[in-house]
Amino acid sequence: MSQRRVAITGLGLVSPYGGDLADFFARLCAGKSAVRYLLTDDLPRPLSIPFVSCPGFDPDVALGKPLASMMDRFAQLAMAAAFSAWNDSGLPRQAEGDQRDDWGVAWGTALGGTLAYEKGYRELWQKGRERLSPLSVVLGMNNAANAHISIQLGLGGVSMSHTVACASSAIAIGEAFRRVRSGEATVMLTGGSDVPQAYGVARAWEALRVMAPGDAETSAAACKPFSAERRGLVLGEGGAALVLEDWDHAVARGARIHGEMVGYGTTCDHSHLVRPEAAGQIRAIGLTLADANLNPGDVDYVNAHGTATAEGDPVEITALKAVFGDRAAALPVSATKSMHGHLLGAAAAIEAIVTILALREGTIPPTAHLAALDPDCAGVDHVTTARHGQPLRAALSNSFAFGGSNAVLAFRAVDV
């Protein structure tokens, strides 16, 4: 069966900066960090961490109270991002007849409705309540986000959630891509969302000793991927969505095409739960290039996974050097997590959007706070200030998850 081309016709997110997509990308290119110091009122020991939140996001305003009250915050962020991407695509909101029976949703979330569950635990164990709200299950379930999106947009095809830690939305986007490319789906709404500020979740991440420290003065620059001074990752909440569409369908309706999705590869290290292995990443990048029919020399930018952990960053650079060989030293690489944080299930989706905007605008956003490169992370062209006017042809976005799952997405610019 011949494969269809896959157009990216809609992009949307809930920006931690509070503005729209253009504002989000402009701030990244200006090296502006969205990381802030978070001090909660939890007793007896408040959370005191660098964090990325979306303080301008009011779900009652964005979605209306009746809809917002049926969702945990991760689904609210998902719904808002999905509406934004859908509006951007120019596709109508309401279904007409049965034409959307093969239009679907693939959504990534690492955590699901952990705020709803935590609220339940507090009610039961802290307040001594006997029963919980009847909405607890539908608020907490991991597939709540994709279910709401399918309902609100009238999408009658597949509706699925993907939980693969930090690669959740990379896998979701990749699986959505494959469905459109194969002809199984005409349109797929995809992306990811997560809200890691449930007290128990944040404490669990702290216990892993992978989170960067910071206070009111230092938090904005707490995440330093590839730096000799890196101290760990910065968690954040967020939601980001893409509309993937059969190319001919998009052209026929005169849609604006942001870029083309051309490849996806996923592997597992199958060796350790949290220690990454270059071999698995090399296979994932190689599979993606082959899937996309790209040579290493065709790739003009890589948005790195780059979480700023001690172990992860050098392994990713090792993998890139192995795949790109002589080209690696001239391969532009940046880790935008330095500014928007690690959004877990939303991470790959927001980074896919960054990668697509980089291709579309011909601008590579930087890795912020990279004044002192770790020698173990040398060997690629680290982008430390935005590069404008770049004739970018193709780009990759890497996501490497706890559990050893690796997923890489490939995109091409339109008309280059």
Partner 1 sequence: MDSIGLIREFLQDRLGVEPENVIPEASLAELGVDSLMMLELMFEFEDRFGVKLSSDLKTPQTVGEMVSLMDGLIASQKH
Give the residue numbers marked as catalytic.
166, 305, 342
**Nearer to partner 1 among residue 136 and residue 384 (C-beta):** 136
Q: What x/- string results for residues 48 through 87 when contact with partner 1 is judged by CB under 8 A? A: ----------------xxx--xx-----------------
* Angstrom distance (rounded) from CA 9 to CA 145: 21
Cα separation of 347 and 372, whole Å? 25
Nearest approach, Cβ of residue 122 and partner 1 (Å): 15
Q: Which amino acid, residue 84? A: S
Min dist. Cβ of residue 129 to partner 1 (A): 9
- Chain positions 120 to 159 lying near partner 1, rule: CB under 8 A, are 131, 133-135, 138
SS3 for 302-358 is EECCCCCCCCHHHHHHHHHHHHHHHHHHHCEEECCHHHHCECHHHHHHHHHHHHHHH
Which lies closer to partner 1 via its Cβ, residue 65 or residue 122? 65
- Could you give the CA distance from residue 305 to residue 310 in angstroms, rounded to a whole number? 13
Least distance (Å) from partner 1 to the CB of residue 87? 22
**Are 379 and 326 within 8 A, CB to CB?**
no
d(CA 310, CA 321): 18
In the complex, what is the shortest distance from the CB of residue 83 to partner 1, in angstroms, rounded to a whole number?
A: 18
Nearer Cβ to partner 1 (138/287):
138
Helix (H) and strand (E) counts in the chain: 14, 13
What are the φ and ψ backbone dihedral angles of 37, each rounded to 5 degrees?
A: -80, 130
Of 139 and 235, nearer to partner 1 (C-beta) is: 139
CA 7 to chain centre: 19
Between 38 and 71, CB nearer to partner 1: 71
Give the bridge partners for 191, in sequence order: 107, 241
CB of 64 to partner 1, least distance (A): 7
Return the beta strands (E) in 145-185 as ranges: 159-162
Closer residue to partner 1 in complex, CB, 45/131: 131
Shortest distance, position 132 Cβ to partner 1, whole Å: 9
Contact string (CB under 8 A) for partner 1, positions 313-342, x = contact: ------------------------------
> How far is Cα 333 from Cα 364, in angstroms, rounded to an integer?
9
Total site size for partner 1, rule CB under 8 A:
10
Name the site residues for partner 1 (rule: CB under 8 A).
64-66, 69-70, 131, 133-135, 138
